[in-house]
Amino acid sequence: MPANFAFSRLLAYSLLLIMTAVISAEVAVADLPRVPFERQQFRRPVAIAQLDASTAVVANRCGTLSVIDLDQWQVAAEYQIGGQLTNLAVTNGLLLVTDAEHSRLSLIRISRQNAQVVSELPVPTHPVTVQVAPDGTFCTVASKWARKLTFVTLGDKLAISATVDLGFCPGEQLHVPSRTSMLVADAFTGRLAVVNTTTHDVEAVHEFGAHNIRGLAISNDGQSLLISHQILNDAALPRRSDIVWGVMINNLLRTAKLDSVLEGQSGAIYGGQSINVGYAGQGAGDPDTLFVDQSGQAVIALAGVNEVLIGKPGSRAFQRIGVGIRPIDLLPLSEGRFVVVNELSDSLTLIDMTKDAASASATEAQTANAAKPTVKTVTVTAKTVTATTAAATTAAAKSDDSSPQGDGEYDEAEAYTRKYGDQSVYDAAASTYRSSYLETDVFTSSLSLGPMPELGPAERGEQLFFSARLSHASWFSCHSCHVEGHSNGGRSDTFGDDTEGAPKRVLSLLGVGETGPWGWNGKKPTLPKQIHQSATSTMRGPGISDSAASDLAAFLTTLKPPPPFEPAVTPADRTQISDGRRLFESLSCTECHSGTTLTSADAYDVGLVDERGLRQFNPPSLRGVGYREKLFHDKRADSLGEVFTKFEHQLARQLSATELSALLRYLRSL
Ligand code: HEC
Ligand code: HEC
3-state secondary structure of 76: strand
* pLDDT confidence of residue 25: 53
Is the CB of 386 within 6 Å of ligand 2? no
Distances (CA, A) of 209 to 239, 333, 501, 536, 646: 22, 34, 20, 26, 25
DSSP letter at 537?
Answer: I
**Which of 133, 151, 134 has the alpha carbon at shortest distance from 142?**
151
Q: Which atom of ligand 1 is nearest to the CA of 522?
A: 27
Please give the number of the atom of ligand 1 that sits closest to the Cα of 493.
12
Residue nearest to atom 41 of ligand 2 (CA): 589
- Cβ 632 under 6 angstroms from ligand 2: yes
Ligand found nearest the CA of 664: 2
303 contact partners, CB below 8 Å, separation of at least 6: 214, 285, 286, 287, 288, 326, 327, 328, 466
Q: Which amino acid is at 501?
A: G
Computed over its alpha carbons, how large is the radius of gyration of the chain?
25
Gap between the Cα atoms of 82 and 641, Å rounded: 40
pLDDT for 66 beyond 70? yes
User: What are 276's strand-pairing partners?
Assistant: 252
> Is residue 65's pLDDT more than 70?
yes
How high is the mean pLDDT of the chain?
Answer: 86
The three-point CA angle 325-328-330 to 5° equals 115
b or e along 136-146 (b: 16 or more beta carbons within 10 Å of the residue's beta carbon)? Answer: eebbbbbbbbb
Alpha helices (runs of H) in 127-283, residue ranges in sequence order: 240-243, 258-262
- What average pLDDT does range 231-244 have in this prediction? 90
pLDDT tens for each residue of 625-651: 999 999 999 999 999 999 999 999 999
pLDDT at 238: 85
Q: Whose CA is nearest to atom 36 of ligand 2?
A: 589
| All domains of the chain in start order, with CATH | 1-165 (2.130.10.10), 379-556 (1.10.760), 571-668 (1.10.760.10)
Q: How far is CA 656 from CA 508, 571, 644, 663, 664, in A?
A: 32, 22, 12, 11, 12
Residue nearest to atom 5 of ligand 2 (CA): 589
The whole-number pLDDT of residue 556 equals 98
Q: How many residues does the chain have?
A: 670
- Residue 586 has a CB neighbour count (10 Å cut-off) of 11
Structure letter (DSSP) for residue 344: G
Nearest CA to ligand 2 atom 19: 619
pLDDT at position 618: 97
- What average pLDDT does this structure show over 345-371? 65
Lowest mean pLDDT among 40-49, 218-227, 290-299, 308-317: 308-317
Q: What is the DSSP letter of 48?
A: E
pTM: predicted TM-score of the whole model, two decimal places: 0.88
CB-based contacts of 298, cutoff 8 Å, min separation 6: 217, 226, 253, 290, 291, 292, 309, 310, 311, 312, 313
Q: Can you give the pLDDT at residue 26?
A: 54
CA of 329 to the centre of ligand 1 (A): 26
| Position in ligand 1 atom list of the atom nearest CA 515 | 26
Considering only CA atoms, which residue is closest to atom 6 of ligand 1?
A: 478
Q: Kindly list the distances between the CA atom of residue 146 and the CA atoms of 4, 194, 474, 491, 602, in Å, as whole numbers in the listed order.
A: 24, 18, 33, 25, 33
Average pLDDT on 279-298 reads 92
Q: Is 580 in the pocket of ligand 2 (CB under 6 A)?
A: no
Residue 505's H or E segment, with its range, is strand 504-505
594 pLDDT higher than 50:
yes
The DSSP secondary structure of 130-149, one letter per residue, reads EEE-TTSSEEEEEETTTTEE
CB 494 within 8 A of CB 506: no
